[in-house]
Amino acid sequence: MRPITNRLLGRWSLWMSLLFLLVCMVGILIWLAGRYEVSQVQTQVAQDASDAVADIRIGLTRNVQNLQALQFTGPASVAWEQEAGILLREHREWLRLEWRDTRMQLQSEVDSPFRNPVFRHMGTSFQMPEVVQACSVAQRQSGPGYSTSTYVPQANGQGLEVMNLCLPVLNNGELIGFTVATYALQEILANFINTNLLRNQEISFTEADGTRLAMHGAVERSERTFSAKQLLTLPGNTMVLRLDSWRVPPNLFPNILTALVTLMAFALAGVMGLLARDMRRRQRVEVDLAEALAFRKAMEDSLVTGLRARDGQGRITYVNPAFCEMLGFTAKELLGHGIPAPYWPPEMVDEYGKRQALRLAGNAPPREGVESVFMRKNGDRFAVLIFEAPLINAKGQQAGWMSAVLDISEQRRIEELSRASQERLQATARLATVGEMASLLSHELNQPLAAIASYATGSVNLLHGTTLADPQLISSLQEAMQRIGQQAERAGKVIKSVHDFVRRRDQSRVDVSPRTLLDNVMPLVALQARKLGVRVELRCATDLPHVMCDRTMVEQVLLNLSRNAMQAMQDESPHKLLTLWVRLGAPTNGQQWLEFVVSDQGHGIAEELAEKLFTPFFTTKEEGMGLGLSLCRTVVEQHGGVLQHRPNQPRGTVFSFTLPQA
């Protein structure tokens, strides 16, 4: 159990680390995707900022050109003021245009028509230093010069940041004055920058420390702000342009890429879940399989039947412990071994080889098994019973043969023993019969011997004092001699029949007519019948088929049954009739049977005795051995027949047995 727990633990830790890695990977991917999106937006904002700077620069340059055009109208004239008025209407970014002489004295001025003059409240003098600074730059560079920005407070409490542009006015290469334009920084942002840029963005001019000077945009605000700064370098002034962009609040899935990655991660997690479920099922199956295997192993190990599997080429692929034990080989010695197998007795190799070839050709063996002889490792031969069945693999194809092998040597030994003891028993029973007959014999022999003696005495008397010429005498003597011969022959026959019965032991089954069997036992039956005063009747048609049997044994059965029948009638029976009868029996499975019937009119068999009749040594007679009927049944059953008995009518018993037709 311990290794399984360890394996499970190992597998779980693997799964946990896989899950951990997956979560990490998904987290990093989402983070990276977010980062990527941020950097994209940041780049876009930086790009927008630099576009804005470019827009401002273009606007400023165009304005410088417009101012230069104004200079052609000549300074400080009504025409200038008109021109300047037109320009101011076209350019909202300008708050005011001035014309100053070389000493910076104001010659002409025009304010923007769009708002109240900005300097009405403060005058322009407070920003003179900046104007002077711009103009000195302009003079130095013979081009536009810009001042730093200044804050101009307004009457309504608010204020605005302004910046001055100074453009030198030359006449024939000689400086005659300056055109000064005052820019509102906020208007620069509003008018110069492409409106598309300002969607969702706020643009502003800031100082180096971040203080906002002017701004534009700022539609909405949110937590996520992207900022980009760009320097706007002008002659005489450098400003910082800052672009702030607001995006929607940060999402879990900021964009398609992240969403895709997340989706894939979920799919991955789903697949992992399915895999885990599959794994769990496999684990369950694994455990079941392990249990089934353990069960199978325990079963195989406890079996006393030898098991052996062979592949299509006859090589041994599996043996169980019982098979190895039976043969004395180890499994290692047997596995992989082909033909001839190490347990084939060398003298049988040819025959077994043929049988094996038949089997490999696909011929199925008989279901009841095949008897064979195997050889143990020590060379001992022993009988086995082999049951073989095709070995079908998981694909349903035959991969070889599976055999169950039974060691039947012990069974054979017991059978042999019982056969021997049976034979001894039979011999004993026969001798007992002979013993019984001895008295009958002496009685039977007495008659012919007495007759012989009296004929001999008579003959001697006849010979006394007579001549041999008397023809009467000669014929009498001849007759007496013939009688003596007949009687001697009769006595000889009686002795021979007993001798035959005792001596003859021919075990083989022979084809014999039922009549012959009856005739053979008749002299012995007649012996007893005469003594007991029993009449014997034989009924046997001449055209009955022959039977196949062990003659001696069947005769013994007939004799035993006849003897029992006559003994049953011995006492008070009014009619002492013994009938020996042979007739055709009912056929079974195509086999024809002959029925031998022995009936008497004796005292019959009481019901309580009926079941004990065939038990060896059961007898009701004083001098009986109780072996007769048990022997009879054994003999009949050995021939495949049955021995039965039933009451006779009006009294007595009928014993009958069947024998197969030859």
620 binds ligand ADP per the rule CB under 6 A:
yes
Nearer to ligand ADP, 403 or 564 (CB): 564
The CB-of-529 to ligand ADP minimum distance in angstroms stands at 14
For residue 295, give the 3-state DSSP assignment.
helix
Angstrom CA distances, 462 to 451, 455, 459, stand at 16, 10, 5
Q: Is 125 left (phi over 0), alpha (psi -120 to 50) or beta?
A: alpha
Nearer to ligand ADP, 154 or 422 (CB): 422
Exactly one of 546, 626, 638, 644 binds ligand ADP (CB under 6 A); that residue is: 626
x/- letters, 360..379, toward ligand ADP (CB under 6 A)? --------------------
Exactly one of 406, 629, 636, 643 binds ligand ADP (CB under 6 A); that residue is: 629
Q: Is the dihedral of CA 573, 575, 580, 582 positive or negative?
A: negative
Total number of residues binding ligand ADP (CB under 6 A)?
A: 21
Q: Identify which range of 177-185, 356-364, 580-588, 603-611 contacts ligand ADP by CB under 6 A.
A: 603-611
565 binds ligand ADP per the rule CB under 6 A:
yes
Nearer to ligand ADP, 76 or 625 (CB): 625
For residue 12, give the 3-state DSSP assignment.
helix
For residue 376, give the 3-state DSSP assignment.
coil
Q: Which residue sits closest to ligand ADP, CB atoms considered?
A: 628
600 binds ligand ADP per the rule CB under 6 A:
yes
Exactly one of 144, 168, 400, 602 binds ligand ADP (CB under 6 A); that residue is: 602
Exactly one of 624, 644, 660, 662 binds ligand ADP (CB under 6 A); that residue is: 624
- What ranges in 117-210 are assigned the alpha helix state H? 128-141, 185-192
Nearer to ligand ADP, 261 or 565 (CB): 565
Exactly one of 360, 408, 425, 625 binds ligand ADP (CB under 6 A); that residue is: 625
Q: Identify which range of 182-190, 377-385, 443-451, 563-571 contacts ligand ADP by CB under 6 A.
A: 563-571
Nearer to ligand ADP, 95 or 553 (CB): 553
Exactly one of 124, 127, 426, 564 binds ligand ADP (CB under 6 A); that residue is: 564
Instruction: Specify the residue for token string 């073989």.
Output: 388
648 binds ligand ADP per the rule CB under 6 A:
no
| 370-375, strands of its sheet edge to edge | 316-319, 306-311, 398-407, 381-392, 370-375
Q: Is the dihedral of CA 10, 15, 18, 19 positive or negative?
A: negative
491 binds ligand ADP per the rule CB under 6 A:
no
Q: Identify which range of 129-137, 138-146, 262-270, 597-605 contacts ligand ADP by CB under 6 A.
A: 597-605
605 binds ligand ADP per the rule CB under 6 A:
yes
Exactly one of 145, 177, 628, 641 binds ligand ADP (CB under 6 A); that residue is: 628
Distance CA 433, CA 1 (A): 73
With 0-12 / 13-18 / 19 or more C-beta atoms within 10 angstroms meaning exposed / middle / buried, residue 67 is buried
Cβ atoms of 257 and 37 within 8 Å: the answer is yes
Q: 280-314 burial string, b = 16+ CB within 10 Å, else e?
A: eeeeeeeeeeeeeeeeeeeebeeeebbbbbbbeeb
The CB-of-571 to ligand ADP minimum distance in angstroms stands at 11
Nearer to ligand ADP, 74 or 626 (CB): 626
The CB-of-623 to ligand ADP minimum distance in angstroms stands at 8
Nearer to ligand ADP, 254 or 628 (CB): 628
Question: In the 8-state DSSP scheme, what is residue 397?
Answer: -
Distance CA 583, CA 593 (A): 9
578 binds ligand ADP per the rule CB under 6 A:
no
Q: What is the bridge-based pairing of β-strands 535-540 and 577-584?
A: parallel
Number of Cβ atoms within 10 Å of the Cβ of 388? 19
The CB-of-414 to ligand ADP minimum distance in angstroms stands at 25
Q: Identify which range of 279-287, 371-379, 516-524, 557-565 contacts ligand ADP by CB under 6 A.
A: 557-565
Angstrom CA distances, 656 to 11, 219, 567, 636, 645, stand at 79, 127, 17, 10, 6
Q: Which residues contact 74 (CB under 8 A, 6 or more apart)?
A: 80
| CA nearest neighbour of 177 among 62, 78, 43, 80 | 80
653 binds ligand ADP per the rule CB under 6 A:
yes
Nearer to ligand ADP, 581 or 618 (CB): 618
Exactly one of 136, 372, 516, 619 binds ligand ADP (CB under 6 A); that residue is: 619
Q: Which residues bind ligand ADP (CB under 6 A)?
A: 560, 564-565, 568, 600, 602-605, 613, 618-621, 624-629, 653
